[in-house]
Chains A and B, each alone.
Chain A
Amino acid sequence: MATLVPPPATTPEASKPTVIEPEKVDYLNLPCPIPYEEIHREALISLKPELFEGMRFDFTKGLSPKFSLSHSVFMGPTEIPSQSSETIKIPTAHYEFGANFIDPKLMLFGRVLTDGRVNARLKCDLSENLTLKANAQLTNEPHMSHGMVNFDYKGKDYRTQFQLGNGALFGASYIQSVTPHLSLGGEVFWAGQHRKSGIGYAARYNTDKMVATGQVASTGMVALGYVQKVSEKVTLASDFMYNYMSGDVTASFGYDYILRQCRLRGKIDSNGCTSAFLEERLSMGLNFILSAEIDHRKKDYKFGFGLTVGE
């Protein structure tokens, strides 16, 4: 009885030539929207892969179904932020040790780097609708450690989040489904240390073939995104970013191919920056990664390769 025969599609009523009526929307049973901070999720996945320069090796070993250890080695140049237009790169190498505990109710992630950075994440379901998320980053440099706690409440057709961070950072966001496809949301935040506050709005329209998003914030940021699923394997994405304060405008266009043996993501943007990210599956649990990024204007070329074992 492993394979049940699917019931034949019964459409005797639909076959009648009837006038197509506009679908009655049940506004009391709207779907739950996705979290406010993730409204650009699809565009980000297709357009912003984890590009890197150098060599990386990741190894994950599961000790039990819930507990796993990860080791990763990275070697290559890393950019140092500087005032001048030319980027300064210094060669670095580090090893990262991580431990993960994954349970449907509780998730714990820890990462330790050889240069002394510690990263910890926690996700815990306090009740059926209330989730606690915490994130901490500790470094040996002063004033560079961060900590943040989020409380997410998931309603029937809305989500709300309250955020607390170090440096007197407070934030709250709310997103509500308005129609089965459209959801609207807003956020406020206040950073006490920098004496800054802001407000933002976002809208998201999604069907199973496309996603369109728009977001504005009082920091001067305008972000628009559009993702179209062309077929089962191909997704095309584009986004537009505008910052009113600095006057930066960037538009980018990318593709995302998910084939049987590989996943290939390519992107080109209006700054003349081209990038591609290829994940090739060599065998079960063994992935080969190639990353390329060329910026003609800055004459900055980044190429990387890596190997991921286990997952």
Chain B
Amino acid sequence: MASQSGKRLSLSRSNSSGSEGIISRVSSTVSQSPIVYRGKRAASDAAYVTKRLMKSTGKAAWIAGTTFLILVLPLIVEMDREQQLNELELQQASLLGAPPVGSTPKDFFSVKGGG
């Protein structure tokens, strides 16, 4: 783009060097200056790198997310269910007033019967 505009400017200058507006002169010096050129380069490079970075981050996030969905999510769900089941059982046991572990009535009977 820079080279093209430069070419056009040089053409117009050769045609009518006398009737050159001040605005076009300023714009030509601005567009032809190396700072602008470097700035443009840097911006386009940065945009390219950011785009690549975003793309690879997105891919990594996709892989990590799907892996999580397959490997970890079922585990969390099942562990939660197991815990709920345990809690339910504990609650029922306390509601029924279960005797302490080790001396259930059944054991007591069998010991009595044996003796």
Q: How far is the CA of A262 from the CA of B75 in the complex (A)?
A: 10
Q: How far is the CA of A2 from the CA of B113 in the complex (A)?
A: 11
Task: Tell yes or no: B23 within 8 A of A by CB.
Answer: no
Q: Establish whether residues B70 and A5, one from each chain, have CB atoms under 8 Å apart when the complex forms.
A: no
Q: How far is the CA of A1 from the CA of B109 in the complex (A)?
A: 9
A-B pairs with beta carbons under 8 A, tally = 55
Task: Tell yes or no: B85 within 8 A of A by CB.
Answer: yes
B: number of interface residues (CB 8 Å):
18
Q: Establish whether residues B71 and A1, one from each chain, have CB atoms under 8 Å apart when the complex forms.
A: no
Q: Establish whether residues B110 and A257, one from each chain, have CB atoms under 8 Å apart when the complex forms.
A: no
- Chain B positions near chain A (C-beta within 8 angstroms): 63, 66-67, 70-71, 74-75, 78-79, 81-82, 85, 106-107, 110-111, 113-114
Q: Establish whether residues B85 and A261, one from each chain, have CB atoms under 8 Å apart when the complex forms.
A: yes
- Chain A positions near chain B (C-beta within 8 angstroms): 1-5, 255, 257, 259-262, 264, 266, 268, 272, 274-276, 278, 290, 292, 294, 296
Q: How far is the CA of A128 from the CA of B62 in the complex (A)?
A: 57
Q: Establish whether residues A5 and B74, one from each chain, have CB atoms under 8 Å apart when the complex forms.
A: no
Q: How far is the CA of A255 from the CA of B72 in the complex (A)?
A: 11
Q: Establish whether residues B67 and A257, one from each chain, have CB atoms under 8 Å apart when the complex forms.
A: no
Partner of A2, one of B81, B85, B110: B110
Q: How far is the CA of A5 from the CA of B103 in the complex (A)?
A: 10
**A264-B110 in contact given A272-B63, A274-B67, A292-B70 (Cβ < 8 Å):** no
Q: How far is the CA of A3 from the CA of B74 in the complex (A)?
A: 39
**A260-B114 in contact given A276-B70, A292-B70 (Cβ < 8 Å):** no
Q: How far is the CA of A1 from the CA of B71 in the complex (A)?
A: 48
Q: Establish whether residues B78 and A262, one from each chain, have CB atoms under 8 Å apart when the complex forms.
A: yes
Q: How far is the CA of A3 from the CA of B102 in the complex (A)?
A: 12
Q: How far is the CA of A272 from the CA of B70 in the complex (A)?
A: 13
Q: Establish whether residues A261 and B110, one from each chain, have CB atoms under 8 Å apart when the complex forms.
A: no
Q: Establish whether residues A3 and B85, one from each chain, have CB atoms under 8 Å apart when the complex forms.
A: no
Q: How far is the CA of A290 from the CA of B69 in the complex (A)?
A: 13
Q: How far is the CA of A257 from the CA of B72 in the complex (A)?
A: 12
Residues of B within 8 A of A2 (CB): 110
Q: Establish whether residues A257 and B75, one from each chain, have CB atoms under 8 Å apart when the complex forms.
A: yes
Q: Establish whether residues B110 and A259, one from each chain, have CB atoms under 8 Å apart when the complex forms.
A: no
